[in-house]
Structure 1
Amino acid sequence: MLTVPCQWNLESIKRIVGLRQSNGIDIGEMYGALSNGITPQGRSLAIAHNTTKENALQIKRILDEHNISFAYLINTPIEIESCRFLDEELEWIINEFKADSLTISSKELMQYIRKRYPDIRINVSTIAGIKTIEDVKSYLSISPAKIIAHHDLNRNFKDLRKVLDYLKNNNMQLELMVNESCLRRCPYREQHYNELGTGNDDRKFHEKCNLIKIQNPYQLLMANFIRPEDLYVYESLGVNLFKITGRSKPIAWMEEVVQTYLNREFKENLMRLLGIDPLLKAEDWIFISNNSLDGFLQHYSDCDNLQQEIKYCEDWIIKLYHNKQFYIDRAMNCQEKNGRLIFEPVNGIY
């Protein structure tokens, strides 16, 4: 089942609903938040898609008619005491908009809401950073319905199996993000989300992390993405919820990516699918043939060993480079040193 971003465009919503399939994977949920609400939504306001409460209610009615649920996002750090009109906002979200669930990162806010709305479904946001059973246990008192995993869990296969078994035994669901492009083991993750909690422009983080990927291109393959063709790898483990990211991307892009994951096939540039800041236009200057990655995930390291992962991804990216299935147009001085591919970026690449 796919969970897809809501970009608050009525005509686009109708088209996306029309993409649904009767066989195989389907669209089960949309997620989003009003950019002009008082609760933080985990995106820079500068690139958020805007709407009105009236338009949001109309969209929610359409989703209800098609049995697509809606997860409302309150998924960045929040100080309840300093958040004015919080109760009023929650009343609108839960009782007027009638969100089917709330996706939240703050444990304090989860506890606050659980006391006031004991029956509302609460999802633990990916921002909470859940990667292990012990991480899950710290949220049991909230009785969450769903855990949206830390993006690193996608490739931590041993922990993923354990978490799946634990959640199944405790009547909770697990959702994995399929096209997140963050660095694996990103050292700036907490800083990034804290910045988003203020509604500020977060482009400096995208620029910093993508520069690391260019200078160390094996990082492009370590970025925890799940290709449309590789959904079955996770389905065979018991994962049945997959989340497409990219709420701030162009509307046409979103429709294309949803269609691609429904079809489970993509023959073009992998970078096109990933939820990178749209202002960077990464697919215009980085190319990775999606077809060339057939078999890549099936042989990925199963022991969460950093050096093994780096070696594996280095070997793959060098192979792709030599086969002209990977290149960076706006880079120079590409060198292969000691089994590593190194690019020196042009000054002002961003």
Structure 2
Amino acid sequence: MRLEVGTNFDNELFNQIKGLPVSVIYGKLTEDIVGGGRPSLALPRVDIEKIKRHIELAHENGIEFNYLLNAACLDNLELTAEMNSEIIKLLDLLNELKVDWVTVTIPYLIELVKKRLPNVKVSVSAFANVDSIQKAKHYERLGVDEITIPESYNRNFKFLKELRKNVNIDIRLIATNDCLLSCPFQHFHPIYQSHASQSGHVSGGFAFDYCLLRCTYERLKDPSQFIKSGWIRPEDLEVYEEMGYDNFKLTERLKKTDQIVKMVKAYSERKWNGNLAEILNVRMSEEDYGLPNFEYIDKPEFADFGKMSRTFRFLFKNKVYIDNNKLSGFINFFKDNDINCLQRNCDDCQYCKKTADKAIKIDNEQYDVDIKEFKQLFNEINTGAFFKKEEKVMKWQNDVKEIFDKMMELKPEFIREVSSKTILADAEEIARKRNSNEVSVEDIIEANFNSTPKEIHPIMIGSLQNLGLNVDKYIEQ
């Protein structure tokens, strides 16, 4: 078994995964001319020196590094003189950094990489949607070293057997994604993500992830979508190894180190007791992820920053418990019956629905609240109200503003400016929800806790108490 793992560029990661079957880690700069599969908003802050040292440490630990060039769209500029020159500069930089792999989506870039970096191995991204033997053979003829197939094919065992029999290069399966089965956004979403991570793009990294919002909503409405996703349980890896698949990609590189390590250990040990969602790419809590780069959405010419920062939190409404112990034998239905989910009507089949009824728990009270908020959000987007500036100006009394300023002085300097904008906007929204046009001290306290990771809450409680503020309701009993 080989695991290819997304890195958050925390060098401590190597100590935590030492001795585990990790063959490759993958990642990229926060932004570059090509872009990749995640918006800069959500990526770790990485410059050239940091990535250089990280690659050196990977090699010292016997792990290869895969740099992501997996943008699905370059605005038709890839075959223009200026863009071609910029891409070549980036490839030359990757050569200097001694990357072992690059992951590519656009066929032309594969040819360019093979010509410019003959010693670097090429992996074809899942964004290329290699869903047939004909496509796989084409990329094999181009000289690539690895193909990642779309996760919607992970349970199509007839296809997997034929693919493995007819293609000689390495094939990688994504084990931890929670994408919708045969996702209707699978073409649009990679294009959005590509542009949202490209330096010099007209959007400037602005990222309004409609696709992720919509699929989060779809899962809330129908929890069986969590089961339909093409994930592979740690216990089921051997089913794929028996067919000749031993290379598994683990996402998500946006997570904190402890969450990445938890996932890697589960797959290394081929066992997980508890909530399967914890080791999949199911966004349940902001606490599990690194701080977003909110400066990318601080663009008033595009949308109100306060609305954007609040919308970001909608992505973490997947409050679900998937009992992994109740999924034992789940995969056999697909394996033993040669099921092709892409050619079946889920309404007739009902297998995943029945499994979800048995294995999934959700908070029904919170569910009703979340559904209502999502409907309101989509209505604002679809009517254009989301993009209109607030006409109602909120009032801030001097004493409240003074307390707010003192709170912000407690924030680390490197996040102070963004935190100030986020908390201010959230406090005003809290005031609006209680039908007031004036922000109170309680509003800014609540907004402060909303935007601060829970592990920091005990420290923050002491700091706010030192300011003479009542934070008793935030003290865990």
- Give CA-to-partner distance per residue, 1:164-223, whole Å, 9 cap, x none: 11223xxx0010011101001111111000001111425321120121122222211110
Deviation at residue 282 of structure 1 after TM alignment: 4.6
State the distance in 1 between where 2:210 and 2:276 align. 23
Give the corresponding residue for 2:39: 44
Give the corresponding residue for 2:356: 317
Give the corresponding residue for 1:336: none
Specify which structure has the higher proportion of helix: 2
How does 1:83-162 map onto structure 2 within 5 Å? 83=83, 85-94=86-95, 96-162=96-162
1:227 counterpart = 2:227 = no
Equivalenced residue count is 324
Give the corresponding residue for 1:265: 271
1:303 counterpart = 2:300 = no
1:292 counterpart = 2:334 = no
Deviation at residue 27 of structure 1 after TM alignment: 0.8
Amino acid at match of 2:236: D
Give the corresponding residue for 2:51: 56
Deviation at residue 250 of structure 1 after TM alignment: 2.4
Q: 1:178 aligns with which of 175, 180, 184?
A: 175
- After superposition, the Cα gap between the structure-2 partners of 1:210 and 1:306, relative to the gap in structure 1 and judged at 3 Å, is farther
SS of the equivalent of 1:175 reads strand
Deviation at residue 310 of structure 1 after TM alignment: 4.3
Higher deviation after alignment, 132-141 or 178-187: 132-141
State the distance in 1 between where 2:316 and 2:278 align. 9
Q: Is the 8 A contact 1:215 1:345 kept in 2?
A: no
SS of the equivalent of 1:287 reads strand
Give the corresponding residue for 1:340: none
Q: 1:347 aligns with which of 338, 355, 372?
A: 372
Give the corresponding residue for 2:215: 209
State the distance in 1 between where 2:317 and 2:271 align. 21
How does 1:221-260 map onto structure 2 within 5 Å? 221-260=227-266
State the distance in 2 between where 1:249 and 1:66 align. 21
- After superposition, the Cα gap between the structure-2 partners of 1:253 and 1:203, relative to the gap in structure 1 and judged at 3 Å, is farther
State the distance in 2 between where 1:191 and 1:224 align. 19
Specify which structure has the higher proportion of strand: 1
State the distance in 2 between where 1:217 and 1:34 align. 35
Amino acid at match of 1:230: D
Q: Is the 8 A contact 1:104 1:125 kept in 2?
A: yes
Give the corresponding residue for 1:281: 316
- After superposition, the Cα gap between the structure-2 partners of 1:328 and 1:288, relative to the gap in structure 1 and judged at 3 Å, is farther
Q: 1:73 aligns with which of 68, 73, 79?
A: 68
Amino acid at match of 1:316: T
- After superposition, the Cα gap between the structure-2 partners of 1:310 and 1:249, relative to the gap in structure 1 and judged at 3 Å, is farther
Amino acid at match of 2:122: I
State the distance in 2 between where 1:166 and 1:223 align. 26
SS of the equivalent of 1:189 reads coil
State the distance in 2 between where 1:319 and 1:9 align. 38
State the distance in 1 between where 2:27 and 2:268 align. 20
Give the corresponding residue for 1:34: 29
Q: Is the 8 A contact 1:129 1:149 kept in 2?
A: yes
- After superposition, the Cα gap between the structure-2 partners of 1:251 and 1:46, relative to the gap in structure 1 and judged at 3 Å, is same
Amino acid at match of 2:362: Y
- After superposition, the Cα gap between the structure-2 partners of 1:74 and 1:202, relative to the gap in structure 1 and judged at 3 Å, is farther
State the distance in 1 between where 2:209 and 2:186 align. 13
SS of the equivalent of 1:346 reads helix
Deviation at residue 28 of structure 1 after TM alignment: 0.6
State the distance in 1 between where 2:317 and 2:261 align. 18
Give the corresponding residue for 1:4: 5
Higher deviation after alignment, 307-316 or 58-67: 307-316
TM-score by length of 2: 0.64
- After superposition, the Cα gap between the structure-2 partners of 1:51 and 1:13, relative to the gap in structure 1 and judged at 3 Å, is farther
- Give CA-to-partner distance per residue, 1:136-180, whole Å, 9 cap, x none: 123233211000111112111111111111223xxx001001110
- Give CA-to-partner distance per residue, 1:202-259, whole Å, 9 cap, x none: 5321120121122222211110011111111111111110000111122321121112
SS of the equivalent of 2:130 reads coil
Q: Is the 8 A contact 1:179 1:275 kept in 2?
A: yes
Q: Is the 8 A contact 2:4 2:249 kept in 1?
A: yes
State the distance in 1 between where 2:12 and 2:100 align. 22
SS of the equivalent of 1:163 reads helix
Amino acid at match of 2:357: I
Give the corresponding residue for 1:198: 195
Identity, in percent, stands at: 25
Deviation at residue 345 of structure 1 after TM alignment: 5.6
Unaligned runs of 5+ residues in structure 1 are: 333-343
SS of the equivalent of 2:353 reads helix
- After superposition, the Cα gap between the structure-2 partners of 1:296 and 1:228, relative to the gap in structure 1 and judged at 3 Å, is same
State the distance in 1 between where 2:170 and 2:38 align. 25
- Give CA-to-partner distance per residue, 1:93-141, whole Å, 9 cap, x none: 02x1111111100101111222333343111111101122012123233
Q: Is the 8 A contact 2:224 2:356 kept in 1?
A: yes
TM-score by length of 1: 0.86
Give the corresponding residue for 1:335: none
